[in-house]
Amino acid sequence: MMAYLKMLPIITSNYSVNVYLDLKDAAIFIALTFCALLFNMRKINGNAQSVYNKKRIAGNALMTSIALFMLYLWAFGKLMPLGVDEFLVTYGPSFLIMFICMRVFPLRKEEESVYNDSKSIIVEPFGRLIYNRKDKKWFGVVPNLHPDHNIELSIGTESQDQQIDDKVELVKKLASDYDAIIASLQYLIFKRFKNTNFEKSLDEIKEMYYLISVDLKPDNKTWWLVMEPDFKVASIYNHYQRFTMVDREIVWANFDIDHHISSRMV
């Protein structure tokens, strides 16, 4: 703070500064900084903020508190006894620079959280799901789909008021068919790399890949399934395998499956 007070007159004029500060002044500066920070924080409104915005909020609060503190010092005679005109000439440009910085570099408008004011429900046996208004789907990281870890579950709907009991039953059926479905997906991955430089045995593929995401679309027939490579297993296969399943038939993947698709899995 002292360095700032000494630097401003050097930049803006040839005046010298005499500052008389005590503990009360330090407390006032801290209070001004805190109030300015709270004032700037009001712009967050519960939205997730980028690193840029967090820096702008802190910077704006600091510049505001410094400006207010300078006015306080001048008003109570703790700054050198300047007249109004001398004060404006000495510190006016610095206040102007602060104002310009706050206007030219405003906070970026962050998207409102898609989960603000959203409904949440408890779906047995999977647990809590929260409605994502933007994507129109219920979402949660849930147990009881995979035997060993939680899975991202999404259930598409037309609105958050739509009943999803029938959709939950489809997810339960998927859970009961889990072993057969995953075995078929892992077999497709195995066939993808067979007879290539990256060939692995089926057992190795089963060790490498597990289901991480299940997304049931609003038509109640289409599923998006994502297989993730297990980070605990040493492997060069560090990319996701994505599949589209209609009923129980794989109709698409993010690799060529034309020669590997069987009729139905279950």
pLDDT in tens, 250-264: 999 988 776 554 444
Residue that wins the pLDDT comparison between 199 and 171: 171
At residue 10 the predicted structure's pLDDT band, cuts being 50, 70 and 90, is very low
pLDDT of residue 262: 47
pLDDT of residue 251: 92
DSSP for 184-200, written as a single string: HHHHHHHHHHTTSTT--
pLDDT of residue 21: 60
Residue that wins the pLDDT comparison between 55 and 163: 163
pLDDT of residue 7: 43
Task: For residue 45, count CB atoms less than 10 angstroms from its CB and return exposed for 0-12, middle for 13-18, buried for 19 or more.
Answer: exposed
pLDDT of residue 82: 56
pLDDT of residue 216: 97
At residue 139 the predicted structure's pLDDT band, cuts being 50, 70 and 90, is very high
- Nearest one of 169, 171, 206, 174 to 187, comparing CA atoms: 206
Q: What is the mean pLDDT of residues 146-174?
A: 91
| pLDDT tens, position by position, 47-56 | 555 566 667 6
pLDDT of residue 153: 95
pLDDT at 225 over 90: yes
Which of 163-172, 209-218, 255-264 shows the lowest mean pLDDT across its residues?
Answer: 255-264
Residue that wins the pLDDT comparison between 161 and 56: 161
pLDDT at 113 over 60: no
Task: For residue 11, count CB atoms less than 10 angstroms from its CB and return exposed for 0-12, middle for 13-18, buried for 19 or more.
Answer: exposed
pLDDT at 43 over 90: no
Q: What is the mean pLDDT of residues 180-185?
A: 93
Supply the pTM of this predicted model. 0.56
Percent of the chain with pLDDT over 90: 26
Q: What is the mean pLDDT of residues 162-170?
A: 94
Q: What is the mean pLDDT of residues 66-89?
A: 66
pLDDT at 173 over 50: yes
Helix residue ranges per DSSP H, the chain: 2-12, 23-41, 51-75, 84-104, 165-176, 178-193, 202-208
